[in-house]
């Protein structure tokens, strides 16, 4: 099982011994779930209203990207920008125009705001892909009342349990070495082997 440390000059095991006992317990829980194959995948709860690609292709791409960013030692609940970067790359690679959007995501329950934070998602034409939100419950900074499903569909039909507000002053990071040196090259090979030959 490969693990990615959030600190560039430390391995995952070296990083593990530097964090608090609470953080170690959290990491150990994530590790156990990875080992037994019970990590959640976006496809299982995806609200899919897209006309891009095919339903199976959309789900397969989202799940592949989620497995990659989930290699982070803390899992993928804080990996929205990395997820969006790999999704944008994937869509561009198969011939679709796509862009990363950074901004604020506001979550609602019964029309009442329950949480907001800085978020990243992808837009392609008139569609939005908010693909990494099924895992938010694992993030200790996110209230347990936040329970939203990934969404891929038209911008004007975004579920009412969230509001995505772009911030044009924020730009995607270009310095994430895990994305550029590890995940994107592997994703390119996978797209060539799995997605490109089977595109209809």
117-132 pLDDT, tens digit each: 999 999 999 999 999 9
Give the model's confidence band at 114: pLDDT under 50 very low, under 70 low, under 90 confident, else very high.
Answer: very high
Read off the pTM: 0.96
- Whether 194 has a pLDDT exceeding 70, the answer reads yes
Strand 47-48 to 151-154 pairing:
parallel
CA angle, 19 then 20 then 22, to 5° = 125
Give the model's confidence band at 172: pLDDT under 50 very low, under 70 low, under 90 confident, else very high.
Answer: confident
Domains of the chain: 42-198 (3.10.550.10)
Minimal CA–CA distance to 133: which of 112, 167, 106?
106
- Whether 196 has a pLDDT exceeding 60, the answer reads yes
Q: For the chain, what percent of residues have pLDDT higher than 70?
A: 99
- Whether 199 has a pLDDT exceeding 80, the answer reads no
**Span 6-31, pLDDT tens digits:** 998 899 999 999 999 999 999 999 99
Minimal CA–CA distance to 148: which of 182, 119, 177, 191?
119
The DSSP call for residue 42 is G
CA angle, 97 then 172 then 126, to 5° = 30
What's the whole-number mean pLDDT along residues 50-59?
Answer: 96
- Contact of 45 with 150, CB cutoff 8 Å: yes
Cα dist. 96→17, 113, 153, 159, 185 in Å? 43, 34, 15, 24, 19
- Whether 200 has a pLDDT exceeding 80, the answer reads no
- Contact of 74 with 15, CB cutoff 8 Å: no
Q: For the chain, what percent of residues have pLDDT higher than 90?
A: 90
What's the whole-number mean pLDDT along residues 101-124?
Answer: 96
Tell me what pLDDT residue 57 has: 97
For residue 93, give the H/E element and its range: helix 80-93
- Where do we find the tokens 């506001």? 106
Give dist(CA 120, CA 104) in Å, integer: 8
Q: In b/e form, how buried is each residue of 24-51, taking b as 16+ CB within 10 angstroms? A: eebbeebbeebeeeebbbbbeebbeebe
Tell me what pLDDT residue 12 has: 96
């Amino acid at each position: 099982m490969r693990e990615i440390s959030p600190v560039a000059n430390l391995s995952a095991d070296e990083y593990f011994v530097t964090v608090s006992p609470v953080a170690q317990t959290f990491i150990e829980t994530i590790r156990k779930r990875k080992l037994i194959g019970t990590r959640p995948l976006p496809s299982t709860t995806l609200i899919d209203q897209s006309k891009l690609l095919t339903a199976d292709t959309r789900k397969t791409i989202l799940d592949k990207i989620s497995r990659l960013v989930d290699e982070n030692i803390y899992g993928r609940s804080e990996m929205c920008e990395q997820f969006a970067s790999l999704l944008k790359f994937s869509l561009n690679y198969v011939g679709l125009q796509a862009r990363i959007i950074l901004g604020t995501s506001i979550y609602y329950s019964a029309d009442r705001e329950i949480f907001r934070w800085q978020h990243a998602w992808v837009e392609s034409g008139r569609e939005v892909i908010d693909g990494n939100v099924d895992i938010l419950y694992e993030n200790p900074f996110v209230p347990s009342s936040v329970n939203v499903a990934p969404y891929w569909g038209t911008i004007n039909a975004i579920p009412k349990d969230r509001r995505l507000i772009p911030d044009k002053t924020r730009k995607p990071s270009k310095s994430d070495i895990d994305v550029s040196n590890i995940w994107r090259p592997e994703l390119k090979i996978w797209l060539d082997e799995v997605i490109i030959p089977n595109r209809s």
